[in-house]
């Protein structure tokens, strides 16, 4: 039996000690150049500076091009003034003026230079924009990988998706466009300087309204920030509902809940619409002020300059008035964009705060200082007086003591909710105990590096998850570099090879989202194959054959027995056929072990054990029986009987019938 022997032979011996080497990831993309500053006392812009500095070259080159282009633009009205006053006006008055050709040539050269510089600056602007977005998105995804199970237990996936998409986009847009908009304000000062050299009183008249523009902008910013935060939160609420409907579409359809979900989405969308309307109202109130105050300056320039041109034509020429009319547009340009910049800034500020909430979250499970690698584990597992509860909830496990000798297979039996799966999650350190310790080979798992610990533990959960990838890629997820023959051997050992060989593309067959194009039993066998391929020393089967029918389960029992040989295996199960795989059975009640022994001994001496098995068989039969038309839309019959009073005794708030 080559396939099974190959897995058994690959298991490390008890005395084998080789350094732990993590499996190399399949790197398809370059890592981010930088991430945000971890100092939470800094402003959000300063925290983003490492990312901006990482792309300083392309940012500076783009800004230089933008600055030169704007300075050339500032020179255009001055050239037009000279052409009018020195070439056109003298000719109109019958005098000989300077040639017009040099002025026209200068304007053409400036136009060509502005075209080239504009192309480079816009290209670099877009490249910078996407580079910032890439770094932020990768930083967010890396943090998702570092965060512990306890964090994801308390957050909605839609909120995380929203922050990793729309919030990052808001920050990216501001960081990419704000520097260029800042450069446009340099053109304001350059234009004012040239205006002052031409006619200082007229230049002062042109900017007399600018202080009012500043105060209006500050007022708009103060109002926009809380509204921007609400808009971001409401967008996340909508994303959460959409994500839950997509992933839970089978539940929605089975309960004919489409109208209910549409109502929930409508309520969330209505709240988002309200928040957006408030933001639009703020912009509608203040943007016209920001845009039109500079135009008041233009009116004052025409009034004052026109009077000066009539009474003092040598001081304010025709060319001066035309040049100032163009300079007024340049002065107004940055302030015209000020409202848009304020909106971007406040949305980015609100979005950055939501992003930092994730990036600043410390992982609950991390390597301790001085943590060592687990190498060549023999598989001696011990739970020593373990007490544990999720979050602030009451403890599920109370002073639990359990020992699994190297190579021993132990079946854990208990009622639903007794903590069986919790025990399976404590061993690979998905959570830390409140008190007591989980030991492997005498090492507290908290003193071991997380990667090396989990490399020695294979876990098959009761709800198998498959990625939207090929079957082969799903099996080789833990070992992306595994050769094809080992992938096929793992599938053969898990009893999956038979149905895979019947698929059109065999191991290259794509599975649908979460593997729903396959049956529950097929998904579970692939999950078992995925675990077997990494060849763990400790194997945890958390109800791993629950979705497989009895006949198929019996077919793979021989393979499982061979694969368990020499490995420490914890089997969480309710079927007698699965329990028969174990060397020893332990009974879990009220958070601690109450009995241990063989199945026959416990059936003979422990009435509670027989009762738990009978109850488990009933629950399994109830959950897997074919649903009738009425049953498909009704809740499980045991749902209320086991956890509360009958439905008729449940009080309805407010007297609603």
Task: State both tokens at 377.
Answer: 């584990």
CATH code for the structural domain at 44-359: 1.20.1560.10
How does residue 648 score in pLDDT terms, banded at 50, 70 and 90?
A: very low
Per mean pLDDT, which of 169-183, 353-367, 396-410, 452-466 is the most reliable? Answer: 396-410
Sign of the alpha-carbon dihedral angle for 595, 599, 602, 603 = positive
Q: Residue 267: its pLDDT value, please?
A: 80
Among 219-233, 293-307, 348-362, 622-636, the range scoring the smallest mean pLDDT is 622-636
How does residue 652 score in pLDDT terms, banded at 50, 70 and 90?
A: very low
Q: Residue 640: its pLDDT value, please?
A: 30
Give the C-alpha separation, 78 to 317, whole Å: 13
SS3 88: helix
Task: State both tokens at 288.
Answer: 């016209």
Give the C-alpha separation, 465 to 264, whole Å: 27
Confidence check: pLDDT of 539 > 70 = yes
How does residue 645 score in pLDDT terms, banded at 50, 70 and 90?
A: very low
CA 418 vs CA 393, 570, 582: distances in Å: 14, 16, 20
**How would DSSP label each residue in 452-480?**
HHHHTEEEE-SS----SSBHHHHHTTT-T
SS3 95: coil
Contact 225, 218 (CB under 8 A): no
Q: Residue 514: its pLDDT value, please?
A: 63
Q: Residue 324: its pLDDT value, please?
A: 79
Among 184-188, 273-277, 548-552, the range scoring the smallest mean pLDDT is 548-552
Domain boundaries, the chain: 44-359, 377-456+583-641
Percent pLDDT > 70 in the chain is 79
User: Long-range contacts for 313-316 (Cβ within 8 Å, ≥24 apart)?
Assistant: 315/199, 316/199, 316/202
Question: What is the tens place of the pLDDT at every residue in 25-79?
Answer: 555 666 777 788 888 888 888 888 888 888 888 888 888 888 888 888 888 888 8
In this structure, the strands spanning 538-542 and 568-572 are parallel
CA 49 vs CA 39, 156, 175: distances in Å: 12, 29, 10
* Architecture in CATH for domain 377-456+583-641: 3-Layer(aba) Sandwich (3.40)
Work out the average pLDDT over 548-575. 71
How does residue 112 score in pLDDT terms, banded at 50, 70 and 90?
A: very high
Give the C-alpha separation, 512 to 404, whole Å: 38
Q: Residue 630: its pLDDT value, please?
A: 38
How does residue 550 score in pLDDT terms, banded at 50, 70 and 90?
A: low
Q: Residue 622: its pLDDT value, please?
A: 58
pTM more than 0.75: no
Produce one character per residue of 58-79: b if its CB has 16 or more CB atoms within 10 Å, e if not: ebeebbebbbbbbebbbbbbbb
Q: Residue 637: its pLDDT value, please?
A: 33
How does residue 360 score in pLDDT terms, banded at 50, 70 and 90?
A: confident
Among 172-186, 192-206, 406-420, 527-541, the range scoring the smallest mean pLDDT is 172-186
In this structure, the strands spanning 409-414 and 584-589 are parallel
The dihedral over CA atoms of 536, 539, 545, 547, expressed in degrees to the nearest 10, equals -70
Domains 44-359 and 377-456+583-641 share a fold: no
* Higher pLDDT pick, 565 / 374: 374
Question: What is the tens place of the pLDDT at every residue in 375-427?
Answer: 878 888 999 998 988 877 888 888 888 899 888 889 888 887 788 888 888 88
Q: Residue 632: its pLDDT value, please?
A: 38
Average pLDDT, the chain: 76
């Amino acid at each position: 039996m080559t396939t099974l022997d190959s897995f058994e032979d690959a298991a490390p011996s008890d005395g084998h000690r080789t350094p732990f080497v993590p499996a190399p990831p399949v790197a398809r993309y370059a890592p981010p150049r930088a991430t945000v500053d971890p100092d939470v006392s800094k402003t959000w812009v300063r925290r983003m500076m490492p990312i901006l500095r990482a792309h300083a070259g392309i940012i500076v080159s783009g800004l230089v091009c933008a600055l030169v282009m704007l300075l050339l633009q500032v020179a255009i009205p001055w050239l037009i003034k000279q052409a009018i006053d020195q070439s056109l006006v003298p000719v109109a008055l019958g005098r000989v003026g300077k040639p017009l050709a040099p002025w026209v040539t200068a304007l053409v050269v400036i136009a060509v230079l502005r075209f080239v510089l504009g192309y480079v600056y816009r290209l670099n602007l877009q490249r910078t924009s996407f580079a910032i977005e890439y770094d932020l998105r990768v930083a967010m995804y890396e943090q998702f990988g570092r965060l512990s199970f306890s964090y994801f237990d308390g957050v909605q996936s839609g909120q995380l998706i929203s922050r990793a998409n729309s919030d990052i986009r808001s920050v990216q847009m501001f960081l990419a466009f704000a520097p260029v908009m800042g450069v446009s304000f340099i053109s304001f000062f350059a234009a004012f300087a040239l205006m002052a050299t031409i006619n200082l009183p007229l230049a002062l008249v042109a900017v007399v309204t600018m202080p009012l523009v500043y105060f209006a902008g500050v007022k708009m910013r103060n109002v926009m920030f809380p509204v921007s935060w609400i808009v971001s939160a409401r967008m996340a609420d909508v994303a959460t509902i959409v994500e839950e409907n997509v992933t839970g579409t089978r539940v929605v359809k089975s309960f004919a809940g489409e109208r209910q979900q549409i109502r929930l989405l409508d309520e969330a969308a209505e709240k988002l619409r309200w928040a957006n309307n408030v933001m639009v109202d703020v912009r509608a109130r203040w943007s016209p002020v920001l845009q039109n105050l500079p135009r008041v300056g233009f009116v004052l320039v025409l009034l004052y300059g026109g009077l000066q041109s009539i009474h003092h034509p040598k001081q304010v020429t025709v060319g001066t008035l035309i040049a100032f009319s163009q300079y007024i547009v340049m002065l107004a340009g940055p302030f015209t964009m000020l409202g848009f910049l304020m909106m971007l800034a406040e949305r980015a500020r609100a979005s950055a705060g939501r992003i930092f909430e994730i990036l600043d979250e410390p992982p609950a499970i991390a390597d301790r200082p001085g943590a060592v690698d687990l190498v060549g584990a023999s598989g001696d597992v011990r739970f020593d007086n373990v007490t544990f509860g999720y979050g602030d909830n009451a403890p599920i496990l109370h002073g639990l003591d359990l020992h699994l000798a190297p190579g021993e297979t132990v079946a854990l039996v208990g009622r639903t909710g007794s903590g069986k799966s919790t025990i399976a999650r404590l061993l690979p350190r998905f959570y830390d105990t409140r008190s007591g310790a989980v030991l492997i080979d005498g090492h507290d798992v908290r003193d071991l590096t997380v990667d090396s610990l989990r490399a020695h533990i294979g876990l098959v959960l009761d709800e198998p998850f498959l990625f939207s990838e090929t079957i082969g890629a799903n099996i080789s997820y833990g070992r992306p570099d595994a050769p094809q023959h080992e992938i096929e051997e793992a599938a053969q050992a898990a009893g999956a090879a038979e149905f895979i060989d019947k698929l059109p593309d065999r191991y290259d067959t794509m599975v649908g989202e979460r593997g729903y194009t396959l049956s529950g039993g097929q998904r579970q066998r692939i999950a078992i194959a995925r675990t077997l391929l990494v060849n763990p020393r400790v194997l945890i089967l958390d109800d791993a054959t629950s979705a497989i029918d009895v006949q198929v389960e019996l077919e793979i029992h021989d393979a499982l027995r061979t694969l368990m040989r020499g490995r420490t295996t914890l089997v969480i199960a309710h079927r007698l056929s699965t329990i028969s795989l174990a060397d020893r059975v332990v009974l879990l009640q009220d958070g601690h072990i109450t009995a241990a022994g063989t199945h026959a001994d416990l059936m003979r001496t422990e009435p509670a054990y027989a009762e738990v098995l009978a109850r488990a068989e009933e629950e399994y039969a109830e959950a897997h029986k074919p649903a009738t038309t009425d049953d498909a839309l009704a809740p499980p019959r045991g749902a209320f009987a086991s956890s509360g009073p009958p439905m008729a005794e449940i009080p309805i708030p407010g007297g609603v019938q």
